[in-house]
Structure 1
Amino acid sequence: MIEKKRRYDLDWLRVIAILAVYFHHIGMPFNGDKFHIMNSESSKILDDIMVFFEQFRLPLLFLISGTGTMFAFSKRTWFQFLKERSIRLLIPLFFGVLFIVPPQTYYENIGSYLSYFKVYENMSLKVNHLWFIENLFIISVLVIPLILFLKSPKSNKILTVLEHGAYKKYGVFLWVIPLICITIALKKLYPSDSKSITNLSSTAFYGYFFISGMLFTSAKNIWVYLKEYRKFNSIIFLISTLLFYGYYFLPNKYIAPYLSSSIQWDIWYLVCALVSWTSIISILGYGQIWFNKPSIVLNILNEAIYPFYILHQTIIVVLGYYIIQLNVNISLKILVLIFTTFPLIIIIYRFLIYPFTIPRILFGMKKKKLKLPK
């Protein structure tokens, strides 16, 4: 049975995860990876830090989305759920692809002002960072049969087995084994890092966290065990982190003579999955201690965070294009980028989106509640 009590810890973790995505994209022009705009110099240290946080910021977001999906479905029929998902996800996706993302394409291939409209003329429309919304909608639709099963008495035996396994200290940690197997197997068939829904290695990886969130919510005692064993899980996370960076920094000349390239990648996927899963179960445990309390600030952030996500990358790319051309060091450029983009996103949200019905719908927000006269 799904517990309908508000989970403030999950609300906080959703806000934190999206802010982590924002800071990740702040660093992208400077870490040497391919991004829409790139600084002339890159920071290896920044890249070394970012590759670690990449392992769990999006998995956390997908897992929380899985829990939110179960909570949303608990109050709706499957048709009402599908309607709600379409309004909250498809409308912002289509609006974003048509109006929010094109400036990124323009600044990535900047030319004359008229070249902005060639984005539409050539139909070179992309989802870019909105891939998360696209994937979330498709996964939400695909798992409807599973949701119906989990809501039915037929799932009781399976949920009981999961809860019994989670009762053991290492129980939830062992969920990493299927994740490792799925990741390694599908990476051989779909080696791309693309976030497209058709790239099954990526979709299955994030889908595993999404479905895990659904199962955690359906077998609610698992939350109790995540909280109870949070110290144990955090120790495993620290060990996984050491394994991750130990392998990451290990010179290739020491392993190339003994391990094929394929096996080297398999080990990399293994340590990445370990960090991803152990970090998530640790965060979920400590989140119940640190964040599970109501807050006026949380109410404000919870409403603003979705429009913030939709807007953030475009604002970063547009302002970042000019900031990376400044004749200052990378650290200062990053600070300038933060202190210009963050306030601008908030201003756009507060004065152009928040007060008005149509922009609220376009950015996935609920209609503003009318205050009844006293």
Structure 2
Amino acid sequence: MATLRRYDLDWLRVIAILAVYLHHVGMPFNGDDFHIMNTDSSKLLDDMMVFFEQFRLPLLFLISGTGTIFAFSKRTWIQFTKERAVRLLVPLFFGVLIIVPPQTYFEHINEYASYFEVYKNADFGINHLWFIENLFWISLAVIPLILFLKSSKSNRLLCFFEQITAKKFGVFFGVLPLILILISSKKYFPSDSKDILNLSSTFYYGFFFVMGILFASAEGTWIHLKQFRKLNAVLFIISTIVFYAYYFMPSEWISPYLTINQRWNLWYIVCCLVGWTFVTTLLGYAQIWFNKKSVLVQKLNEAIYPFYILHQTVLIVLAYYIIQFELNIPLKMLLLLVTSFPIIILIYRFLVYPFKITRVLFGMKKRV
């Protein structure tokens, strides 16, 4: 399983990162605390984005987990660690020093006399590159698990896992440990921070990462994801209805009966239901829609990592100027979309793709 190229996973990786990009296009306009904020905000946009937040990153972490199995398949654990360091830590340090500072400058532009004061004050941050940092540490943490799964000692576990997912609701019940992890960890780490030390976030996304590893290791589970895709789609639709029913429910309807902690726990449950059912549904349908050899997806898969590293900086710089225009929110979003996307592509094509040093700095493999 781990030695075969899965083009459906390549497509899902591209789709997941493009979804992150589109989400960030809307961030200046949804009323949340983003780096650059428009004066007016759209409640409708916020109501839509809070839904998509439940599965865009879980999908990305799960796909990264499956990719970890592929990366490990031809390497020892030492070689794997070196490969992760080169492809994750090098872009992370480069990003913190070069890619992220423009975000800091435009976010606090009135506090700086010049751009170079960002460096003079050592105002460095990780920003959107938190995903790369988390991916590195989680990848190292799961090395013992991967070594176990590669050994014959894991046969009984993988067989048991396949037997569970062969049941009609077997895949769906994977949401139960996810709910338990999120509710229990939120008691001690209530923050929404994506810092690696905020264990409620790390354990939550780590669960999807580990499930990606298990899915990639248990060959029969992929068959079950495809087999039960329609059922999982129905469960996703039901979860969506429950999610929005709770989201829009007036607080005075339930506040007399539930404590604030209990209400938050219900919120965590509906979020887990939407995230898990969407991801498992998409993994099933992707085997039908996307698992075909494609030159296009090979090129997109090569470009998508640099695209991710670049996208938020380009968006923030452009958004700083666009939000000052006398336009409505849909037009500003459209303008941000149609200007940022080609700029990111041009930077990639002419400054990143052709050169050995920039390919290394952006976590790309050598040109074949």
Query: Taking structure 1 as the reference length, what is the TM-score of the superposition?
Result: 0.97
Q: Percent identical across equivalent pairs?
A: 66
- Which residue in the other structure is 2:183 paired with? 184
For the pair 1:198 / 2:201, whether they are aligned, the reply is no
Distance (Å, rounded) in 2 between the aligned partners of 1:277 and 1:123: 40
Q: CA deviation at 1:3?
A: 3.5
1:75-86, aligned counterparts within 5 Å? 75-86=74-85
Query: Taking structure 2 as the reference length, what is the TM-score of the superposition?
Result: 0.99
Distance (Å, rounded) in 1 between the aligned partners of 2:244 and 2:365: 43
Distance (Å, rounded) in 2 between the aligned partners of 1:119 and 1:205: 33
DSSP 3-state at the match of 1:111: helix
- Which residue in the other structure is 1:372 paired with? none
1:54-93, aligned counterparts within 5 Å? 54-93=53-92
What per-residue deviation string (whole Å, max 9, x for no partner) do you get for residues 205-257 of structure 1? Answer: 00000000000111111000000000000000000000000000000010111
- Which residue in the other structure is 2:126 paired with? 127
Distance (Å, rounded) in 2 between the aligned partners of 1:143 and 1:296: 32
Which runs of 5 or more structure 2 residues have no equivalent in the other structure? none
- Corresponding letter in the other structure for 2:272: A
For the pair 1:315 / 2:280, whether they are aligned, the reply is no
- Which residue in the other structure is 1:272 paired with? 271
- Which residue in the other structure is 2:160 paired with? 161
Distance (Å, rounded) in 2 between the aligned partners of 1:70 and 1:16: 20
- Which residue in the other structure is 2:249 paired with? 250
- Corresponding letter in the other structure for 2:36: I
Pairs aligned (count): 368
Which runs of 5 or more structure 1 residues have no equivalent in the other structure? 370-374
Q: CA deviation at 1:112?
A: 7.2
Relative to 1, partners in 2 of residues 1:323 and 1:174: Cα closer, same or farther, differing over 3 Å?
A: same
What per-residue deviation string (whole Å, max 9, x for no partner) do you get for residues 118-142 of structure 1? Answer: 2222222110000000000000011
What per-residue deviation string (whole Å, max 9, x for no partner) do you get for residues 18-58 of structure 1? Answer: 00000000000000000000000000000000000000000
- Corresponding letter in the other structure for 2:96: V
For the pair 1:364 / 2:363, whether they are aligned, the reply is yes
Structure 1's consecutive aligned runs of 4 or more residues displaced over 6 angstroms after TM superposition are none
1:1-374, aligned counterparts within 5 Å? 2-111=1-110, 114-369=113-368
DSSP 3-state at the match of 2:194: coil
Distance (Å, rounded) in 1 between the aligned partners of 2:80 and 2:16: 24
Distance (Å, rounded) in 2 between the aligned partners of 1:100 and 1:57: 23
- Corresponding letter in the other structure for 2:87: R
DSSP 3-state at the match of 2:24: helix
Relative to 1, partners in 2 of residues 1:326 and 1:179: Cα closer, same or farther, differing over 3 Å?
A: same
Distance (Å, rounded) in 1 between the aligned partners of 2:271 and 2:110: 39
What per-residue deviation string (whole Å, max 9, x for no partner) do you get for residues 98-123 of structure 1? Answer: 00000001011003764422222222
- Corresponding letter in the other structure for 1:163: E
Distance (Å, rounded) in 1 between the aligned partners of 2:168 and 2:284: 13
What per-residue deviation string (whole Å, max 9, x for no partner) do you get for residues 313-352 of structure 1? Answer: 0000001100000001000000100010000000000111
Distance (Å, rounded) in 2 between the aligned partners of 1:218 and 1:199: 28
